[in-house]
């Protein structure tokens, strides 16, 4: 499916250190909860020993997200930090095995689910920014992103049940899935009525019918079209329409999501609300037991007030806001993955900080975020936001690219100037590794978010001054994808390279991790 601003780029609204670990895992867990009709009693989880999850599943929140999803929670649920006790209360037995599965994708989840008289097997991947793909259910190949209503009707012979489904759900897509357990797969763009779902479940050929509900905010449909997919296509489209970048974003998302442009604007307004609240929460002060860095934004704010910082009011405000958001994230507060949780602060910190410095209004902030979202669509279409795939160039690099275009929009620049700024910002970010210290998404993540926002500000000014960016944005994005393929596994969010393996980092990890890791080994039988 074509990327959506609200599915693939900005969002989800969530808690936790990593969108590709926490939010994506939670979405996978929620689909599993539906598959098991809410009756999960035991789960065997397999992570490939050469993947990212083998070393990061606990410290970066995959366990928290996945187990919360098993319980049917949402990505911003306030109960998430207490997931271990909740799993115990529900009596769910979980076994995590690290083994040589040979999975191609570094974020692959192999799940065996049991409960009551039901059992199912699921293979799913996290593809970045909270997006997922379920690739296999009960031995049958599927492709589910969580953007449809999906009915699975199990039975040995389903020919007559299929005829019933064709009549009962005339707008649906039907697939015959044949694997370890055969089932009829019905894909719909709207929720089926309870009566028809019950009737299907009671059909003589159907042993069981389950409904997997969407986990994404923007649903998909058959024969989706979009006005453009790349920056070049957008420029060609705009030759006839002469729209601003934020208006092009409205047009794209409205057509992609089959919603009105007014709805697109209001959805972005809601995300700006969350971003603003994250900043205010961070500035008020945060605490959390299991994190590396202390509350530092208060110190930065005091240094600004005392005049102890180098001049640069806009940049200093941006640094303050970036710090505040990162502290909220690391304390399990609510943030917007923009485009990811690890890079959640660069874009909102840059835009909201510039809005504050300029005394701009709310409408300008929303338009800037829309512009950023559209640039993110071009990245999602041609590359990836996942650090496990492309290092931090995919996260903070993408955030910087989007923020640069957003700041040009904020200043009333042209579409061409915004794309130039975005191109320069991403060029400056190529090759950035992901090397989380002590396996936490805190450091050097904070500094990289500050760098990304600072880079965005500089590149926005360069774009507004008509600096020659030389390489079109699409080609820079494609280059990032190629660089991702050339990066060593150790430098892509595995905590096996870079700063993560310095002696200081190992000392920090030992101080933080010994007790929690031993607890996890006893509770969840990690092998």
**Token digits of residue 119:** 């059992």
In this prediction, the residues of the chain whose per-residue pLDDT falls under 70 are 513-527
Coil, helix or strand at residue 52: coil
Asked, as a colleague might, if the bond just before 235 is cis with ω within 30 of 0, I would say no
DSSP letter at 192?
P
CB 509 within 8 A of CB 439: yes
pLDDT tens-digit readout, 467-480: 999 999 999 999 99
**Token digits of residue 271:** 């995300």
Q: What pLDDT score does 59 carry? A: 87
Using left for φ > 0, alpha for ψ between -120 and 50, and beta otherwise, residue 211 falls in beta
Give exposure, 264-298, as e/b (b: 16+ Cβ within 10 Å): bbebbeebbebbbebbebbbeebeeeebbbebebb
pTM above 0.75, yes or no: yes
Q: Considering only the top CATH level, what class is 17-212? A: alpha beta
Q: Report the Cα–Cα distance between both ends of the chain, in Å, rounded.
A: 37
pLDDT tens-digit readout, 472-502: 999 999 999 999 999 999 999 999 999 999 9
Asked, as a colleague might, if the bond just before 108 is cis with ω within 30 of 0, I would say no
- Cα separation, 464 vs 459, in Å, equals 8
Q: What pLDDT score does 21 carry? A: 93
Distances 515 to 127, 512, 522 between C-alpha atoms, Å: 31, 7, 11
Q: What pLDDT score does 513 carry? A: 62
Distances 123 to 2, 70, 491 between C-alpha atoms, Å: 23, 15, 25
Is residue 427 within a helix (H) or strand (E), and if so which, with residue range?
helix 415-427
Distances 339 to 8, 274, 320, 347, 377 between C-alpha atoms, Å: 8, 14, 20, 8, 10
Q: What pLDDT score does 509 carry? A: 87
Could you write out the three-class secondary structure of 209-243?
EEEECCCCCCCCCCCCCCCCCCHHHHHHHHHHHCC
């Amino acid at each position: 499916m074509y990327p959506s601003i609200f599915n693939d780029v900005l969002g989800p609204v969530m808690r936790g250190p990593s969108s590709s670990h926490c939010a994506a895992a939670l979405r996978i867990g929620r689909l599993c909860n539906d598959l098991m009709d809410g009756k999960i009693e035991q789960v065997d989880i397999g992570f490939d020993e050469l993947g990212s999850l083998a070393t990061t599943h606990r410290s970066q929140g995959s366990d928290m997200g996945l187990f919360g999803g098993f319980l049917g929670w949402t990505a911003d649920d306030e109960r998430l930090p207490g997931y271990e006790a909740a799993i115990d209360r529900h009596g769910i037995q979980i076994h995590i095995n690290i083994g040589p599965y040979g999975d191609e994708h570094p974020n692959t989840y192999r799940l065996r689910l049991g409960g009551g008289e039901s059992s199912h097997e699921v293979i799913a991947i996290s593809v970045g920014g909270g997006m997922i793909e379920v690739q296999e259910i009960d031995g049958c190949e599927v492709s589910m992103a969580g953007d449809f209503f999906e009915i699975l009707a199990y039975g040995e012979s389903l020919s007559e049940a299929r005829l019933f489904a064709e009549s009962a759900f005339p707008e649906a897509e039907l697939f015959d899935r044949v694997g370890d357990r055969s089932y009829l797969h019905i894909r719909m763009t709207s929720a089926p009525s309870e009566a028809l779902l019950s009737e299907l479940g009671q059909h003589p050929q159907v042993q069981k019918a389950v409904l997997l509900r969407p986990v994404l905010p923007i649903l998909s449909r058959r024969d989706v079209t979009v006005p453009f997919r790349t920056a070049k296509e957008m420029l060609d489209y705009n030759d006839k329409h002469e729209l601003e970048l934020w208006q092009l974003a409205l047009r794209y998302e409205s057509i992609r999501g089959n919603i009105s442009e007014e709805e697109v604007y209001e959805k972005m307004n809601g995300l700006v609300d969350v971003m603003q609240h994250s900043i205010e929460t961070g500035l008020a002060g945060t605490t959390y037991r299991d994190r590396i860095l202390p509350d530092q934004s208060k110190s930065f704010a005091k240094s600004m007030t005392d005049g102890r910082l180098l001049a640069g009011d806009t940049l200093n405000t941006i640094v303050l806001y970036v710090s505040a958001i990162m502290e909220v994230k690391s304390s399990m507060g609510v943030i917007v993955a923009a485009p990811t949780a690890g890079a959640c602060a660069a874009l909102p910190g840059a835009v909201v900080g510039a809005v504050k410095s300029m005394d701009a209004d709310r409408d300008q902030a929303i338009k800037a975020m829309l512009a950023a979202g559209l640039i993110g669509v071009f990245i999602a279409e041609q590359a990836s936001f996942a650090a496990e795939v492309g290092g931090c160039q995919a996260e903070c690099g993408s955030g910087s690219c989007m923020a640069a275009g957003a700041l040009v929009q904020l200043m009333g620049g042209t579409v061409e100037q915004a794309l130039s700024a975005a191109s320069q910002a991403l060029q400056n970010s190529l090759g950035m590794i992901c090397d989380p210290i002590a396996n936490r998404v805190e450091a050097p993540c904070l500094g990289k978010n500050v760098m990304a926002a600072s880079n965005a500000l500089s590149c926005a000014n360069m774009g507004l001054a008509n600096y020659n960016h030389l390489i079109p944005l699409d080609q820079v994005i494609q280059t990032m994808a190629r660089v991702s393929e050339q990066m060593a596994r150790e430098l892509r969010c595995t905590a096996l390279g870079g700063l993560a393996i310095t002696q200081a980092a190992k000392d920090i990890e030992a101080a933080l991790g010994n007790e929690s890791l031993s607890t996890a080994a006893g509770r969840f039988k990690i092998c």
